[in-house]
Amino acid sequence: MDIDNFFSAKSIAIVGVSKDPKKVGHVIFRNFIDGEFRGKLFVVNPNADEILGHKAYKSVLDIKDPIDLVIIAIPAELVPKIIDECGKKKIHHAIIVTSGFKEVGNDKLDRKLEQTLKRNKILAIGPNGLGTFDAYSKLDSLFLPRYRLQRPKEGNISFVCQSGAVGSAILDYATDKGYKFSKFASYGNAMNVDESDLLEYMGNDPNTKVICLYVEAVKDGKKFLAVAKRVSMKKPIVAIKGGKTEEGSKAALSHTGSLAGSAAVYSAVFRQCNIIEASSLGEMFDIAKMFEICALPMGRQVQVITNGGGYGILSTDAIVTSSLKMAQMSAETLKELRKQMPVIATVNPMDLLGDATTERYKIAINAALKDYGVDILLLIVLYQTPLVSTDIVDIIVETNDLCRKPIVCVSTGGEFTETLKKNLESNGVPCYNFPEDAVRAIEKFVQYHRK
């Protein structure tokens, strides 16, 4: 299935662009302009001559240039007619953001749209979805204004999401936290382009390292199984299933017109396909950033370095109760450490104490990363202690750039801490608020690569 135009179309017609800045079509058009889309844009509105300085066409049939993609934002009952016009214009890709089909019980109109798409050989994302966003091509069909929904910078996470509301909220949140994306797709009712098609596409996208998936119901189980197995051999898929309970399943039916199905069945399918199942949206992205920016793990032995004893204990508990192991550094490494540092009561977790300095961290980090008994470094830095300077960020970043072992950082705090964490993450070091969150992400990361 050729769906490249949904992400990299060079000429786009938007049907339903109003002069009213509050209308969906106008917002979409405005987002393309503000986002500095580099392709050609065409406005279709039979009741206007021009909008925002662009000529308005009565129909897509009046546009002389070839069109790669049409975005449709008009009332539901008018959509099939527009699809017929797109067929005559030889347009083969459509994003339909319009709702009012099977998700509200309008099965007759839903079948009519499906037949119209099939007759005109048009692939459609939607209806009842946000459509797509590509950080590289600047294609942006999301009908939410930029001052309300931040657009992410270019990166390596792609997000396939059945729900527009979940997709938009999480995209906004993740962008604020510094996550960087390649592509985003909200496919809604999945009339003839579904989650499997999008997974296949992301799996072949050179800008995508890890795929996040929010799904309420898979449209074609056999197809999903085959595609997910193929894609997960190349790239990790981190998924969360919506509608696990009976009540949640009923809500999913009214949301996208999909029967959500058994949570146990989905979990079994995820395991069979080597899909990483997350328990929450937050955990999904906690896991994803490990895959986006961390070096490949050579094993599962974790060395903890901390300047807070309690955090070291919590980290130990989390590691021991997981499938990971506490690292055991060699006697030679420990001997060298004792020469340069105060008496260390424990070696893993290695507690640098409350008076830990940046230099003490540097010594400990370098020793742990050189030791063959350490596969992953879990670094806890509590910036509230006075002798840890902001220079520690540079030390961690420089070490991370040179070493071939994953370094994961845990820091808890307010504005000062968050600023330093963002600096670390923007330079390729994943950061977490609490040890348990970090350990869960590390465990999923290691399990995927071990398989």
pTM of the model: 0.90
For residue range 368-389, what is the model confidence (pLDDT) as tens digits?
Answer: 999 999 999 999 999 999 899 9
For residue range 300-349, what is the model confidence (pLDDT) as tens digits?
Answer: 999 999 999 999 999 999 999 999 999 999 999 999 998 888 776 578 99
Cis peptide before 152 (omega within 30 of 0): no
Indicate the range of 29-43, 119-133, 282-296, 336-350 predicted with least confidence.
336-350
- What are 213's strand-pairing partners? 160, 239
With a pLDDT cut of 90, the percent of the chain lying above it is 82
The class of domain 1-129 in CATH terms is alpha beta
Instruction: List, as one string, the DSSP characters of 51-91.
Output: ETTEEEESSGGG--S--SEEEE-S-GGGHHHHHHHHHHTT-
Q: Domain 295-450, what architecture?
A: 3-Layer(aba) Sandwich (3.40)
For residue range 208-242, what is the model confidence (pLDDT) as tens digits?
Answer: 999 999 998 888 999 999 999 999 999 999 999 98
Query: What value does the mean pLDDT take over residues 138-157?
Result: 94
pLDDT value of position 177: 85
pLDDT value of position 382: 96
Q: How does DSSP classify residue 151?
A: P
For residue range 264-277, what is the model confidence (pLDDT) as tens digits?
Answer: 888 999 999 999 99
Q: Do domains 1-129 and 149-293 have the same CATH topology?
A: yes
Query: What value does the mean pLDDT take over residues 1-19?
Result: 96
Name the helix (H) or strand (E) containing 43.
Answer: strand 40-44
Question: What band does 244 get if pLDDT is binned at 50, 70 and 90?
Answer: low
Q: Is 255 helix (H, G, I), strand (E, B) or coil?
A: helix
Q: Indicate the length of the chain as a whole number.
A: 451
Indicate if the pLDDT at residue 249 is higher than 50.
no
pLDDT value of position 251: 53
Query: What value does the mean pLDDT take over residues 52-78?
Result: 97
Q: Are 382 and 307 in contact (CB under 8 A)?
A: yes
pLDDT value of position 259: 46
Task: Label residue 296 left, alpha or beta by phi (over 0 means left) and psi (-120 to 50 means alpha).
Answer: beta
Query: What value does the mean pLDDT take over residues 189-198?
Result: 95
* Nearest of 174, 172, 183, 182 to residue 145 by alpha carbon: 172
Q: Are 72 and 98 in contact (CB under 8 A)?
A: yes
pLDDT value of position 261: 62
Beta strands of 187-278 (E only): which ranges?
A: 210-215, 237-241, 276-277
pLDDT value of position 451: 83
pLDDT value of position 245: 60
For residue range 78-109, what is the model confidence (pLDDT) as tens digits?
Answer: 999 999 999 999 999 999 999 999 999 999 99
Query: What value does the mean pLDDT take over residues 190-204?
Result: 96
Topology at the third CATH level for domain 149-293: Rossmann fold (3.40.50)
* Nearest of 450, 449, 297 to residue 378 by alpha carbon: 297
Indicate the range of 54-63, 236-245, 414-423 predicted with least confidence.
236-245
Domain limits of the chain? 1-129, 149-293, 295-450
> For all residues of the chain together, what is the average pLDDT?
92
pLDDT value of position 250: 52
For residue range 292-302, what is the model confidence (pLDDT) as tens digits?
Answer: 988 889 999 99
Q: Is 159 helix (H, G, I), strand (E, B) or coil?
A: strand
